[in-house]
């Protein structure tokens, strides 16, 4: 199978959906001629014109509001938010308007909008351009949240998001845009709420989101050399969450570590760990561990930044501790 980058996969998904459905358009900063700073949208304006690849001023609340209104009135906008950190700027449009319109209109209005943005540290972009804020939006009822872990997921999830009649936020890891993965030429969609078992194992379940799936897979390789068989699961969408697959795995392995690049406290890891705790308690032989980013603003210093996020070695070390029966947190 051919291999393409995550950036190309997103580009293909958008192009295919824009060809399929003329209601689909792109709106955001530097999306047209510039093709975004990450060149994800390169070539789209040439094919679809500035009427469907719309450059905006640097005014996130403005173009987000325009997109929400456009979605309510019959189009299917794909909003390009240059950095996930800018979500703070569009919170009202996203959380108070887009997320609640269907509910508050008694089902008369839909907001079939996709918010494309990114996450991920270690790009030396400092505290305001390195955050992973998926927990903020996953908290809001009415928003779906997809977190592709490779080019394959990026394309399949994007096409499903565009066809969804309600708002979807997709977080792409900005460090993965150039990562290649096998992607079929023929069309495919990845349904929401279906986790992917990336690697089967019997001893411990590693649940990772986005690039943390790769971290988990590398940790599993380290552990396999030590005789520990880790199962790696990618939920692919955290809203909706495929609980059944996660719980089935934990019932098998009795142990779990949840890894996500958002801050650890009150984060995605906490939510998933908590559900495992509630629904698989009597199958647990060890506490469910969360591994998120440190609860600090992401440092600009490369040396410091690198230690704030989960690493394969760190995941493997925690897995060993769980396997050994060590007292994880003495009272």
Q: Which stretch binds another protein (CB under 8 A): 13-21, 133-141, 222-230, 277-285?
A: 277-285
Q: Give the tokens for residue 320.
A: 């060993």
Among 57, 106, 185, 281, binds another protein (CB under 8 A): 281
What is the C-alpha to C-alpha distance for residues 85 and 87, in angstroms, rounded to an integer?
5
Token pair for residue 125? 């972009």
Residues touching another protein, count (CB under 8 A): 9
CA angle 72, 77, 78 (to 5 degrees): 145
Exactly one of 286, 293, 316, 319 binds another protein (CB under 8 A); that residue is 286
> 129 an active-site residue?
yes
**Is residue 1 within the footprint of another protein (CB under 8 A)?**
no
Is 254 one of the binding residues for another protein (CB under 8 A)?
A: yes
Strands (E), 52-113: 53-55, 76-80
Give the binding range for another protein (CB under 8 A) out of 40-48, 52-60, 133-141, 278-286.
Answer: 278-286
Asked about 60 being catalytic, the answer comes back as: yes
> Which residue out of 129, 172, 217, 261 is catalytically annotated?
129
The pair of three-digit structure tokens given for residue 250, joined into one six-digit string: 């934990």
Show contacts with another protein in window 91-110 (CB under 8 A): none
Stretch that binds another protein, among 19-27, 102-110, 213-221, 276-284 (CB under 8 A): 276-284
Residue-wise DSSP of 244-274 = HHHHHHHHHHS-EEEEEEEESTTSHHHHHHH
Is 327 a binding residue for another protein by CB under 8 A? The answer is yes
Active site amino acids: 60, 129
Interacting residue ranges for another protein, rule: CB under 8 A? 254, 281-286, 325, 327
């Amino acid at each position: 199978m051919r291999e393409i980058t995550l950036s190309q996969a997103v580009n293909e998904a958008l192009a295919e959906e824009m060809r399929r459905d003329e209601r689909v358009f792109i709106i955001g900063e530097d999306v047209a001629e510039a093709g975004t700073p990450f060149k994800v949208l390169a070539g789209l304006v040439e094919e679809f014109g500035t009427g469907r690849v719309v450059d905006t001023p640097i005014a996130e609340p403005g173009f987000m509001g325009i997109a929400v209104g456009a979605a309510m009135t019959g189009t299917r906008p794909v909003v390009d938010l240059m950095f996930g950190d800018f979500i703070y700027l569009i919170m009202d449009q996203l959380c108070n308007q887009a997320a609640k319109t269907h509910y508050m209109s008694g089902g008369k209005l839909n907001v079939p909008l996709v918010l494309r943005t990114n996450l991920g540290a270690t790009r030396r972009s400092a505290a305001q351009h390195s955050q992973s804020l998926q927990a903020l939006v996953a908290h809001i009822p009415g928003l779906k949240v997809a977190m592709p872990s490779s080019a394959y997921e990026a394309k399949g999830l994007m096409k499903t998001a565009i066809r969804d009649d309600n708002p979807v936020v997709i977080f792409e890891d900005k460090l993965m845009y150039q990562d290649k993965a096998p992607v079929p030429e023929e069309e495919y969609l990845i349904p929401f709420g279906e986790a992917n078992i990336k690697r089967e194992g019997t001893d411990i379940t590693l649940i990772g989101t986005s690039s943390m799936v790769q971290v988990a897979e590398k940790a599993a390789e380290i552990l396999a050399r030590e005789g520990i068989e880790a199962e790696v699961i990618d939920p692919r969408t955290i809203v909706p969450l495929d609980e059944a697959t996660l719980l089935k795995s934990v019932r098998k392995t009795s142990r779990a570590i949840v890894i996500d690049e958002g801050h650890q406290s009150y984060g995605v890891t906490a939510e998933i760990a908590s559900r495992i705790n509630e629904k698989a308690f009597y199958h647990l032989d060890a506490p469910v561990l969360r591994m998120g980013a440190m609860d600090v603003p992401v440092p600009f210093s490369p040396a410091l930044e690198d230690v704030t996020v989960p690493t394969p070695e760190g995941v493997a070390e925690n897995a060993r501790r769980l396997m050994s029966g060590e007292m994880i947190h003495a009272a």
